[in-house]
Amino acid sequence: MDKFIIAGNGPLNGTVAAAGAKNAALPILCAALLSDEPLTVSNCPRLWDIGTTKKLLAQMGVTVAQAAPHTVVVDAKTITTHIAPYELVRTMRASILVLGPLVAARGEAHVSLPGGCAIGARPVDLHLMGLKAMGAQITLDGGFVHAKCAKLKGARIVFDTVTVTGTENLMMAATLADGETVLENAAREPEVVDLARCLKAMGAKIEGEGTTTIRIQGVTRLHAATHAVLPDRIETGTFLAAAAATRGKVRVTNTDPALLDAVLVKLQQAGAKVSTGTDFIEVDMQGRRPLAVNIHTMPHPGFPTDMQAQFMALNCLAEGVSVIKETIFENRYMHAHELLRLGADIRIDGHTAIVTGKERLTAAPIMATDLRASAALVMAALCADGETVIDRVYHMDRGYEDIEGKFASLGAQIKRVGKQFG
């Protein structure tokens, strides 16, 4: 099991480039299933989850080529099966994103139910509700979703809960349906917008992406396209939050300030001097300790749940008391138990966490529990006296490309024990 050894040291300083967004690249790679012509995806991050998606597509007979370090070409002309097996789906819930494209383009799909994960039950009932509304016959058997439909029909689909991959799955399915599909209460995340951009490059007719109502006019076929994945706003926010926690000055390049307004507001409230350009964001704490900030996670454009753990770590070191409310997932405080081992002062009461900041933390052996939480543990370890060992860092490899290399380039004393993914 890979481990990180991190010595608590001074402020992070320097420049780091953001990779392409994992949560845009995943649905975009699956969108290739909608066409028999190649989809070229650039600025595609080199991550465990991307590797899993490539494996999943390849085992379906789809041709997947790594054309350059960050460019993948996917050609579904060679597809041989419509099955997404449990052994791959259980390692990455986002595999459910092959469901909509397979039914729409191939008339059937057999996708293992993803099951829950550390942060919650993660049901897919809304994905299935939407496909049923479009005319698919759905049966659940042996832990698999079996979906069949010769030709999906456009429908009006109302999500009672905002779902990112639910919106993405049904938007993809609707591109080849008969007639118009309207998605109401749709997710507004930038990754949904980026997927729509890619689908339109393939010839899809979509409008309203980025708003709560998305309209899709079905077309008969989609064609080859090239798409550059948008920057990863969560990776960007993670490095900016780490700069704030360590009282440093960090510039993140290859990113877009418009993707994380709510996070930038919170960084300013924490006392950071935030400067931005078209493709960079800089946080400068001017050597000062951060101020505690209250966090209430919401669907985009609200404060992202994927940044909650990082801001809990920031608040553990901030001046004052903060209240964090996690409204998206039912169990997204596992990182709190690990932060408590570093001497943090956190009280959890249901969906609310109350954090009293401390000047410094104290090193201890801890364990990564889920993808974003693990980055929060790195941040806290950088502000803990002594040497912290973080176990199970494979969680980080799922969502951050070369996280230890990027932190080290900013001055962190961090080293990996075990094999590097890459």
Q: How far is the CB of 120 from ligand EPZ (least distance, A)?
A: 6
Asked about 117 being catalytic, the answer comes back as: yes
**Helices 261-269 and 233-245, interaxial angle, to 10°?**
0
Other Cβ atoms closer than 10 A to 311? 31
| CA proximity to 399, closest of 19, 137, 65 | 19
Determine which residue in the list 126, 195, 264, 410 makes contact with ligand EPZ, applying CB under 6 A: 126
Report CA-CA distances (Å) from 371 to 192, 203, 308, 360.
20, 34, 12, 24
Is 120 one of the binding residues for ligand EPZ (CB under 6 A)? Answer: yes
Element (DSSP H or E) covering residue 275: strand 273-277
Q: Which is nearer to ligand EPZ, 167 or 384 (CB)?
A: 167
Q: Is 124 in the site for ligand EPZ (CB under 6 A)?
A: yes
125 interacts with ligand EPZ by CB under 6 A = yes
Return the residues of window 145-204 that contact ligand EPZ according to CB under 6 A: 161, 163-166
Tell me the C-alpha distance between 369 and 329, whole Å: 15
Q: How far is the CB of 125 from ligand EPZ (least distance, A)?
A: 5
CB of 255 to ligand EPZ, least distance (A): 16
- Residue 372 within binding range of ligand EPZ, rule CB under 6 A: yes
In the numeric block, the tokens 């390049």 are attached to 253
Residue 326: what are its φ and ψ, rounded to 5°?
-100, 110
Which of 3, 46, 106, 122 lies at the binding interface for ligand EPZ (CB under 6 A)? 122
Size of the site for ligand EPZ (CB under 6 A): 23
Query: Which secondary-structure segment (H or E) carries 345?
Result: strand 345-349
Residue 380 and residue 360: Cα distance in Å, rounded?
9
Q: Which residue among 54, 127, 197, 251 contacts ligand EPZ (CB under 6 A)?
A: 127
Work out the burial of residue 319: count CB atoms within 10 Å of its CB; fewer than 13 is exposed, 13-18 middle, 19 or more buried.
middle
Separation CA 250–CA 115 (nearest Å):
38
Active-site residue, selected from the candidate residues 30, 117, 316, 383: 117
262 to 301: interface string for ligand EPZ, x by CB under 6 A: ----------------------------------------
DSSP per residue, 178-196: BSEEEEET----HHHHHHH
Q: Which residue has the tokens 């889920």?
A: 370
Query: Taking contact as CB under 6 A, which single stretch among the options 117-125, 205-213, 222-230, 380-388 is the one that binds ligand EPZ?
Result: 117-125
The residues in 7-36 that bind ligand EPZ, with binding defined as CB under 6 A, are: 22-23, 26
Which member of 305, 310, 315, 374 binds ligand EPZ (CB under 6 A)?
305
Within residues 317-336, the interface with ligand EPZ by CB under 6 A covers 328-329
- Shortest distance, CB of residue 258 to ligand EPZ, whole angstroms? 17
What does the binding site for ligand EPZ look like in residue numbers (CB under 6 A)?
22-23, 26, 94, 120, 122-127, 161, 163-166, 305-306, 328-329, 371-372, 399
* Residues labelled as active-site residues: 117
